[in-house]
Structure 1
Amino acid sequence: MQQTSLHPMLNVAIKAARAAGAIMSRASLDLEALRINTKSPNDFVTEVDHACEGVIIETLLGAYPDHGILAEESGRTHGAKHSEFVWIIDPLDGTTNFIHGFPVYCTSIALAHRGVVQQAVVYDPTRNDLFYATKGRGAFLNDRRLRVSKRTRMSDALIGTGFPFRRGDNFKRYLKMFEEVMQQCAGLRRPGAAALDLCYVAAGSYDGFFETGLQPWDIAAGSLIVSEAGGLIGNFTGEADYLHQREVVAGNPKIYAQLVQTLTPYSRVIKEDELNAPAPAAPAEPVAVPAAKKRGPVRIKKTEGDDAPL
């Protein structure tokens, strides 16, 4: 890979990602020694997460001290608070896999300028796979240009997903969409690291991907890698406002369109006029937004943990 031809900011992100990957690789040799804390049921954090995040932030701010930071473990406590440039970091995506010795995990680093992702790196240390992209310059795996798959029929498609696992996730809602997609496609996969899942869409290994409950740091880097590989990414109604909506669908253009058609009824997006409509006479379950009514202004249903706009 000719790193000399890469954008300087991307080069710094690659250096940070490789440093984090080296920490993961060393720690993976002695998992019994890991100190593991539980953030919430089924949501773990280790000293490796913190060490990786520390070396990433140190590397990025060493080169760009006036940039902002949004990181999974430390939030916005580091970096400049009001910079137009914000690094969005997941130091170890797939922590549960990591602590079990299941070799599907990575580090994810993205740089957003005024809320638009411009640089992206996802590094898988177990395979030494470096996925990266600069806006407008394509997506790559090591030195190979990435393109999404050409499959057009859902019956031929391999789809990636992620299971909801945190308290407060809507399991019944997920199982319904899981059942629908499963019956339409050739197979569903759930390796357990969303950043890598998006890279697999970009590489054409998956034809599509969907998940709920994700945070900006899970998908920021992968979203640019998908779009630079010719894929589409959005929320369940097919709109581009997905970073803070905790729902994402991605795929090659044909499969993406079919996934959106299936997933639209399960979207959390609520139309403005429905929010302002008179309350029903009797209590009722929330009504999903029909596909035909998804035009016009939308409002994001905020949930605990949602971040302010970038």
Structure 2
Amino acid sequence: MTSGVKEAFSVGSKSFTAVAINTAAKTGEWIKSKLGDFSKVDHKYSPHDLVTEVDKGAEKMIRNLIMTHFPHHSFLGEEGVQPGPAASAKALEEVKDAEYLWIVDPVDGTTNFVHGFPFYCVSIALAHRGDVIVGVIYDPSRDELFVAEKGKGAYVHGRKMTVSADAALSGSLVATGFPADRNGALPVNLAGVTALAPRVRNLRVAGSAALHLAYVAAGRLSGFWEIGLNAWDIAAGSLMVQESGGRITDTEGRPYSLDVRHVMATNGHIHDEMRQALAEAGADKLR
């Protein structure tokens, strides 16, 4: 790595990654302590897009912890953005070229959290001029911390992660999600499910895009795709997949960037086969 890239990971004595890890761990433990202890559930974009005061409190905690160390950095958090795809795209456009941008989903998997289903996480990424350089995902239910630094690998429990060796869809476990956009993204994703379910070993829909991406990086899944996500769902996991030897693009095969909303991440071996299957089913973009 060049010295310029190395310098991107810290300002003075403050390590970006250490701050992200500490912030994710503290916030995750607080979120876990609130299981079943919140007063109401609100809807955002649709009746399937939930938010609680825990989401809002967690984002405030994350913002405060990060801004204490890096007060001049930019911040993009899910709960600070108005609901809906247009508002999300506008919010990203306003900050994506910032020198340093923290991209945060305080509770990825809010529906799971609300129902007490233990598959949700804190997702924190740092982008340097639009390029993700740090990704941290913390699963408080399992006390699993996934960490990636650009050019330095990706780790879980301190062990280096490597994507799976599955060579074909037929031997692969893949995952997707059911988007909150019931009229646009959901029918496209369901078409993908119909196309891929008979061709893979099995399919999982566990309800957290960030954790699904971390699982691809860890070799627990060989692929993941979903239509209609946002930068905060994908950013941290995107770096993990890349640093673990996998491949991440949009569902039409274009390189990943912060703008990507229709995402596909795999171990690399099944990427083209999976992309072709989605394209043939008309499940690779909004129609």
**Alignment partner for residue 228 of structure 1, among 243, 263, 267?**
243
The residue type paired with residue 35 of structure 1 is K
The residue type paired with residue 240 of structure 2 is I
Provide the C-alpha distance between the structure 1 equivalents of 2:202 and 2:182, rounded to a whole number of angstroms.
27
- Give identity over the alignment, percent: 42
**TM-score, normalised by the number of residues in structure 1:** 0.80
Provide the C-alpha distance between the structure 2 equivalents of 1:173 and 1:83, rounded to a whole number of angstroms.
33
1:65 corresponds in structure 2 to 71
2:43 corresponds in structure 1 to 38
**Structure 1 stretches of at least 4 aligned residues deviating more than 4 Å after TM superposition:** none
Provide the C-alpha distance between the structure 2 equivalents of 1:171 and 1:71, rounded to a whole number of angstroms.
23
Distance change (3 Å), C-alpha of 1:171 and 1:114: same
Say yes or no: does 1:19 pair with 2:36: no
Provide the C-alpha distance between the structure 2 equivalents of 1:110 and 1:82, rounded to a whole number of angstroms.
15
Aligned pairs for 1:65-104 within 5 A:
65-75=71-81, 83-104=98-119
Per-residue Cα deviation, 1:97-135 (whole angstroms, up to 9, x for no partner): 001000000000000011100000000001100001000
The residue type paired with residue 55 of structure 2 is D
2:16 corresponds in structure 1 to 9
The count of aligned residue pairs is: 261
What SS class does the counterpart of residue 252 from structure 2 fall into?
A: coil
Where structure 2 has 5 or more consecutive residues not aligned to the other structure, the ranges are 1-8, 82-90
- Whether the aligned pair in 2 keeps the contact of 1:66 and 1:83 (CA below 8 Å) is no
Distance change (3 Å), C-alpha of 1:82 and 1:202: closer
Two-structure CA RMSD over aligned residues (Å): 2.0
Deviation at 1:263, TM superposition (A): 2.0
Provide the C-alpha distance between the structure 1 equivalents of 2:253 and 2:218, rounded to a whole number of angstroms.
21
Which protein has greater RCO, CA pairs closer than 8 Å, 6+ apart?
2
Provide the C-alpha distance between the structure 1 equivalents of 2:112 and 2:29, rounded to a whole number of angstroms.
17
**Alignment partner for residue 220 of structure 2, among 202, 205, 213?**
205
**Alignment partner for residue 285 of structure 2, among 253, 262, 268?**
268
Where structure 1 has 5 or more consecutive residues not aligned to the other structure, the ranges are 1-5, 270-285, 287-310
Distance change (3 Å), C-alpha of 1:36 and 1:137: same
Aligned pairs for 1:276-287 within 5 A:
none
Provide the C-alpha distance between the structure 2 equivalents of 1:180 and 1:168, rounded to a whole number of angstroms.
19
Report which of the two structures shows the higher radius of gyration computed on alpha carbons: 1
Provide the C-alpha distance between the structure 2 equivalents of 1:244 and 1:81, rounded to a whole number of angstroms.
9
Provide the C-alpha distance between the structure 1 equivalents of 2:243 and 2:256, rounded to a whole number of angstroms.
17
Aligned pairs for 1:178-217 within 5 A:
178-217=193-232
**TM-score, normalised by the number of residues in structure 2:** 0.86
Deviation at 1:173, TM superposition (A): 2.6
- Whether the aligned pair in 2 keeps the contact of 1:25 and 1:125 (CA below 8 Å) is yes
The residue type paired with residue 71 of structure 2 is P
- Whether the aligned pair in 2 keeps the contact of 1:68 and 1:82 (CA below 8 Å) is no
Provide the C-alpha distance between the structure 1 equivalents of 2:226 and 2:39, rounded to a whole number of angstroms.
29
What SS class does the counterpart of residue 239 from structure 1 fall into?
A: coil
Deviation at 1:182, TM superposition (A): 0.6
Deviation at 1:25, TM superposition (A): 1.4
Distance change (3 Å), C-alpha of 1:153 and 1:81: closer
- Whether the aligned pair in 2 keeps the contact of 1:41 and 1:167 (CA below 8 Å) is no
Distance change (3 Å), C-alpha of 1:171 and 1:58: closer
